[in-house]
Structure 1
């Protein structure tokens, strides 16, 4: 019995032990993952308790290091948050409250300067903490490694290229809005000058007192200050130049300045663009005195705080884009065109225009920023002076070269004579003489020579003397002496009539003029004597005393003499019907002189002896002309006629150069 109880007890004990073993095994199985987790957390727990294990002195000092680093870092974070608080204001339109916008932008700039200055300081303090933790084994190595990576990223953000990330690009966006506002203010307030239909010629246009309202300038200046402070001055200048130069171009557009782009190949000679050259002087004066002058003042007003170098550069670029270079280049193109006498007058016109604007050019374009304009202006003036002097001093040679050409076949005044007399008169006139003298003085000064007034007058006198020698040479070229006498009568009268009371006439003197008047009378007398004055002798009355029974003999004599007269008259009239007396007064006087030499004699003869043949069956053969018909024919002699030269028609005029003569002069080879 006792053994059985012992076995039962042992059985219970074993069963209980087995259950405990199962429970323990189950618990151990369940605790396995937790042990793994604890194992994994041990390094961090070890790092967490490391400060407790660190030396007491290191633990005591770390607090001060942390306090010193956290202060600047907290301040930086506070300012950074403030920057983002400005975002809404700075992304709005500046025009609604420009002053407020600029104020907010200035706060942003100050905040960014604070961040730029203090971020580096905060990073340095944080680096000190990391270094302290690392040196004193206060923190885990991996923790310190992560801190170092973060600090490296912060340092990279401090570089110049990355600094914009401090505000997320807010400053750039705000500056772009200011640039747009700068452009808007300029564009909306830049209005082309009002131009009347006659502003390009005689009348002056209505000029506004200021190119931009003062209130607009007062808005532009603070915008310019802020943009300049942020390194955008060049961008501002570019915007300004684009807007204002376009406005000047729009103001000039009614003047039709397309001719400024003309090239040498587009015109044959200066005569073809005379009108453009005249307009050029007026247009240049208008542009300089009104448009460029206004831009000069406006650049000074807007960019005054930036200094003279800045606003002068801005002005230079504005006028360069607005046409001043095109004006100067047109003048240079004229100087490079083919030489001819008319070109001299046009060069003097160009010089006069530039000289009139000399003070304006020196004041407006005198700065170093306008170096290109100065160079082009100097080159133009040099080319004008040298070209004008070259043509002037070659005039004598050109006149002499025409000596071998043939005189007019109709005995009229050669185009060269009428041109040269008129041309020299213009050179000596009040319009051109002062300009030509100034040009000659300047040209001589370049050669270190002194100009004397007599050089000009002597040159003109020598030209007229050469022209007189040309007349003598041409006089000898005519095969018909009667025509040569008519030719000399024509030209001597031309000299007298067209030079009396002129500047050239005063230079030549009264004695010279009277001499040519006397020569005219001399050659007129010879002309009449050698031609028409011979005809009345053919109407002789000898043998015509009528007796009874002698009528038939008288009729035969009258017929014979009328036939001889008619034949001589027809031949002479036919020959001289193509001759020309250029001046109307001389033509009328010459015709009257011829009429007086012939018609009275013919009238008397026909009254006395005409009846002898008028009843004859062949009366019309002998009484060929009535007195009135004869007078009409003689009175219509020497009329000017249009003659063809190539494809062009021209009239041999009294005082004006025709294209044919101009071409002859300019095409003559120059003597080197």
Structure 2
């Protein structure tokens, strides 16, 4: 869109082309407003469908499959940058600043409304067994909501932002963030450590969703700021880390297991966290391994 607008301005410059430029601006404005109107209104539209019970045969309702597919496409590698740019333009016109958390948060708002619809539709069934089949067929939506509810607030700590000009102050800020993240992670892990998901395949899917959500954000934060920690102590740059990316991943994968499984996996995770993840070369460059 930016390329087209630039090309238009180049080809149709001058006073005689002012109407063409104006119509082009209106076209872009209408396009941005139309896309944003659909996107912002989608949670409300999903909620409005709640009283309209689908014919309950245990399958996935058309509304759920259509909206889910729509959200998946929005978050795809091809469409997400375009949508982000459109939202950035729309919010800029409103004197507001765009952040990626706005996009992701709104997608989860849509999923939350879908989950509430599913709950309402399941409860309306007179056949208890059929309602269970219905919820099992739609369980993936609740997995996504669980990840957002449990880890979304903690991940907001790992926002990459400009640091104070003085390197010492910047290092202290990074250390505090890492400490706060580790504390928050431990609190969530401890709280949920007694929760069990009996089905092995479902447990694997949930753990994979947590790993895909948490570990890349943590790794990206470390890669952005780790050299500041290296400057302070080149021989022990990971001294301020309670968790390495691989150690974090290993611990997430132990969640929802039985106590026996958790104890067995924790021994392996502790060893991996200490040995495999980080090594400092003779040039004091930090290398992430086994990620």
TM-score of the superposed pair, with normalisation by structure 2: 0.48
- Select the structure of larger CA radius of gyration: 1
Relative contact order higher in (CA < 8 Å, ≥ 6 apart): 2
TM-score of the superposed pair, with normalisation by structure 1: 0.22
Q: Which has the higher helix share?
A: 1
